[in-house]
Amino acid sequence: MFVATAKQFELEQVLKYRLDVERLRKQEFATAKQGFDHAHERLKREEAQTQSISQEFFIRQSELGSIEEIRRYADFFARKREEIKTHKKHVDHLGHILSERRATLLDATKDKKVLESLKEKKATEFKLEMDRKEQSFMDEIAVQKKDERA
């Protein structure tokens, strides 16, 4: 009986490299996502804190005794607006980085899938070729046995 051994995929090293690249891109994306999520949560906390203090100021406004207390609130709100503006820019920047990392991960995944598909196609072709050779071998044996009987 004809025994076929699996043929080594010629681009196996390239496929391994692409798997490594994809793994690295996944890690980079996860890190970017974590950074974005952390910054976004911090921004939401800052906004909630500012909103809470704004409501407190609105309630206490008539109770404030001096212009100095009102000025402190005004200075605080001005600082908070700038901090929130800075945090929003930072979150936007991290959002762009996250989008870039998502795109590079998608590209790496596509590159890997192309090679995996090619590997599967080559394996299928190899199996079909081996099946054809085995059938040819079996046909040859059958012809030889028929010739021996005649």
Average pLDDT, 10 consecutive residues per value, the chain (150 residues): 62 92 97 97 94 85 78 88 96 97 97 93 92 92 79
State the helix-helix crossing angle for 12-60 and 67-149, rounded to 10 degrees: 160
For residue 6, the model assigns a pLDDT of 60
For residue 111, the model assigns a pLDDT of 94
Q: Which residues of 79-114 are buried (b: 16+ CB within 10 A; e: fewer)?
A: ebeeeeeebeebbeebeebbeebeebbeebeebbee
CA distances from 7 to 10, 21, 88, 100 (A): 9, 25, 55, 38
For residue 5, the model assigns a pLDDT of 56
For residue 54, the model assigns a pLDDT of 87
Do residues 108 and 22 lie in contact, with contact meaning Cβ atoms separated by under 8 Å?
yes
For residue 1, the model assigns a pLDDT of 46
For residue 63, the model assigns a pLDDT of 78
Q: Which of 1, 7, 2 is nearest to 127 (CA)?
A: 7
For residue 79, the model assigns a pLDDT of 94
Task: Output the pTM of the full model.
Answer: 0.72
Residue with tokens 């402190």: 72
